[in-house]
Amino acid sequence: MASDIIKLFVMMITLLVFMKLKPLLVKGEQQVPCLFILGDSTLDNGNNNNLLTAAKANYPPYGIDFPDGPTGRFTNGRNRADFIAELLGFDKYIEPFATVKGVDMFRGVNYASGAAGILDESGIHLGDRISLNRQLRNHRVTISHMSTLLGNKTLNKEYLRKCIYIVDMGNNDYINNYLLPQFYPSSRMYTSEQFARMLIKQYTKQLKTLYHYGARKIVVFGLGGIGCVPALLDLYGTEDSACVDSINSAVQKFSDKLKPMIDDLNSNLPNANFIYINSTSIAVRDPSSIGITDLREPCCEISTTIADGQCKYDGGACTDRAAHYFWDGFHPSEAPTKVNAERAYTALLSTDAYPFDISQLAQL
């Protein structure tokens, strides 16, 4: 029976590749054959569950609004990866690398890991985490398994070039590296401009590696207002500003370099289609328009023993979750995340996505 299923799957893939079917943009129709996700806790859906780390979310009240309860998602419900999968027409969420098996990997794999960064050392004070370099190695393992199942490396490459890849990294290179001088020397070694340049250089190499593994449709998310998250507001404090402006200014130096990086990659890599999503632009401009009235207080009870800013194990949670922008000390709740994903998929402003949005990328 299993061999028959695999044969049927191979036949379906062969049809997709050689008939070169265009995605059908009917609501509910799957627009690309697979979706691969690389990132940090904003996208993690269970890869950290069995790691020796403080950065995990497989306990209540995380997942209080998710059908399967606490799964390792760092929010109350769905995360950005889930919403993007829905918008692309997938009928199931993409499985984490930690648990995906067999032919299920042909739908895609989620490699994201809480506390992970572009730099291998970012987040190390929290314990184990799967850095972007390790996620790339895990993707290479996936490709190898897929080639074995297909029995044809060329066919596998043709299949992968039709898939969409989401990459969202860099948050922890600031939150869990540059902004923690008590654990990391980076802020003493580099100015904010030098650090941003160093990150971009490393990031460019990693994205090129992803391209050489067969990716052709790659979505790169920029960083949002890290200086506005509750945990950092509590740590640094502000005077008259709603956010820690010095942090946002440092992070902006990195984000400003992403569009030129995208141009460089698209110009120098044949058939590459990298796009940039401006996380600042796609943020909810008027939170009250979607019922959000609390922009600062986390919804869940914050732990004093687990990693700073995370929910207390089996702790309390507010009842008006849709009214809170933040779920815990670092991560947004489901409500603003849904809006962010929708804006990344269908840009409303020219500044949301460059050179186009995810819905257009899916049609290529």
Tokens 């032919």 sit on residue: 103
Q: What is the pLDDT of residue 304?
A: 86
3-state SS record for the chain: CHHHHHHHHHHHHHHHHHCCCCCCCCCCCCCCCCEEEEECCCCCCCCCCCCCECCCCCCCCCCCCCCCCCCCCCCCCCCHHHHHHHHCCCCCCCCECCCCCHHHHHHCCECCCCCCCCCCCCCHHHECCCCHHHHHHHHHHHHHHHHHHHCCHHHHHHHHCCCEEEEECCHHHHHHHHCCCCCCCHHHHCCHHHHHHHHHHHHHHHHHHHHHCCCCEEEEECCCCHHHCHHHHHHHCCCCCCCCHHHHHHHHHHHCCHHHHHHHHHHHCCCCEEEEECCCCCCCCCHHHHCCCECCCCCECECCCCCCCCECCCCCECCCHHHECECCCCCECHHHHHHHHHHHHCCCCCCCEECCCHHHHHHC
What number does CATH give the domain 28-363?
A: 3.40.50.1110
Query: Exposed, middle or buried by CB within 10 Å (0-12, 13-18, 19+), for 202?
Result: middle
Catalytic residues: 41, 328, 331
Round to whole Å and give the CA distance between 166 and 187.
Answer: 29
pTM attached to this predicted model: 0.92
Q: What is the pLDDT of residue 17?
A: 43
Q: What is the pLDDT of residue 46?
A: 97
Round to whole Å and give the CA distance between 93 and 84.
Answer: 9
* Nearest residue to 277 (alpha-carbon basis) of 205, 210, 224: 224
Contact 332, 326 (CB under 8 A): yes
Per-residue pLDDT of the chain (364 residues; tens, 9 = 90+): 444 444 445 545 544 443 343 333 345 689 999 999 999 999 999 999 999 999 999 999 999 999 999 999 999 999 999 999 999 999 999 999 999 999 999 999 999 999 999 999 999 999 999 999 999 999 999 999 999 998 888 889 999 999 999 999 999 999 999 999 999 999 999 999 999 999 999 999 999 999 999 999 999 999 999 999 999 999 888 777 889 999 999 999 999 999 999 999 999 999 999 999 999 999 988 899 999 999 999 999 999 877 789 999 999 999 999 999 999 999 999 999 999 999 999 999 999 999 999 999 999 9
Round to whole Å and give the CA distance between 191 and 175.
Answer: 16
Q: What is the pLDDT of residue 266?
A: 98
